[in-house]
Amino acid sequence: MVTPPDDGKRKKQKNMARKDGTHYDPQALHPFHNRKIMRWTGFDYTTAADYFITIVVHDRLSLFGRVEADHVNLSPAGEMVRDTLGVLLDRYPDVEMLQQVIMPNHIHLVIGKYDKRVSVLGMMEWFKGITTYRYGVGVKEHGWPRYHDKLWQRSFYDHVIRNQRAFEYIMRYVYENPIRWTADHLNPDCKVPDEIMKTVRDMELGTPPPSTGRRY
């Protein structure tokens, strides 16, 4: 188990990541800039349910691998992220990983959370903290590419899956994400992005929130 660094080490890693001289534009928008409007107003996010989660690399840098022939070839950093997801499941045994994909600059997860004592926010904060620490070690000891200011975007995107149709669509989307890379709105080279969440919202229109576990 990797122990998260103390504040002094965090500061050192942050400064180290800036030494590449790359300019960071804090005004640059990203797809989840307004993610707070996507949260379900009044919904208790400790509720047992299935969640679609996306975490994006800061500045959308492709640090975790390359898509070649519709397949993601993970970099050592991508392998670290994959391994840390396994540790997350060991840490939270009442969480089930239903689907996952590690893309060059983001990850998609579909998780089933069945313990009300576990919060999605707590899990993701733990995951982002551990991967940031491990990535810093990789930069220092193995020459991994340096990131700009921080590894991950400040927050993450989450969506409570509300019915069977949306569940099946999201599961297929995550599985096929490498094939869809050219149309992925998180791909910096994408010209015509997909509209996955618009499609999901249309599927879920009028569906009430889950109360205990998967309700569909």
> For the segment 65-81, what is each residue's pLDDT rounded down to a tens digit?
999 999 999 999 999 99
Give DSSP secondary structure letters for 14-57.
HHHHTTT-----TT---TTTTGGGGS-TT--TTSSEEEEEEEEB
Within a domain: 1: no
Q: How many domains does the chain have?
A: 1
Within a domain: 27: no
Within a domain: 15: no
Q: Cβ distance 162 to 52 under 8 Å?
A: no
Within a domain: 18: no
pTM attached to this predicted model:
0.74
The residues pairing with 159 across neighbouring beta strands, listed in sequence order, are 52
Q: Which residues of 142-159 are buried (b: 16+ CB within 10 A; e: fewer)?
A: eebebbbebbbbebbbbb
Count other C-beta atoms under 10 Å from residue 54's C-beta: 21
Within a domain: 109: yes
The residues pairing with 205 across neighbouring beta strands, listed in sequence order, are none
Q: pLDDT tens digits, residue range 4-58?
A: 444 444 333 333 333 334 332 333 333 333 333 345 566 666 677 899 999 999 9
Within a domain: 14: no
Q: pLDDT tens digits, residue range 131-179?
A: 999 999 999 999 999 998 899 998 899 988 988 889 999 999 999 999 9
Give me the percent of the chain exceeding a pLDDT of 70.
74
Count other C-beta atoms under 10 Å from residue 137's C-beta: 14
CATH code assigned at 122: 3.30.70.1290
User: Is the pLDDT reported for residue 126 higher than 60?
Assistant: yes
**Rounded Cα–Cα distance for residues 153 and 88 (Å):** 19
Residue 78 belongs to domain spanning: 42-204
pLDDT, position 42: 62
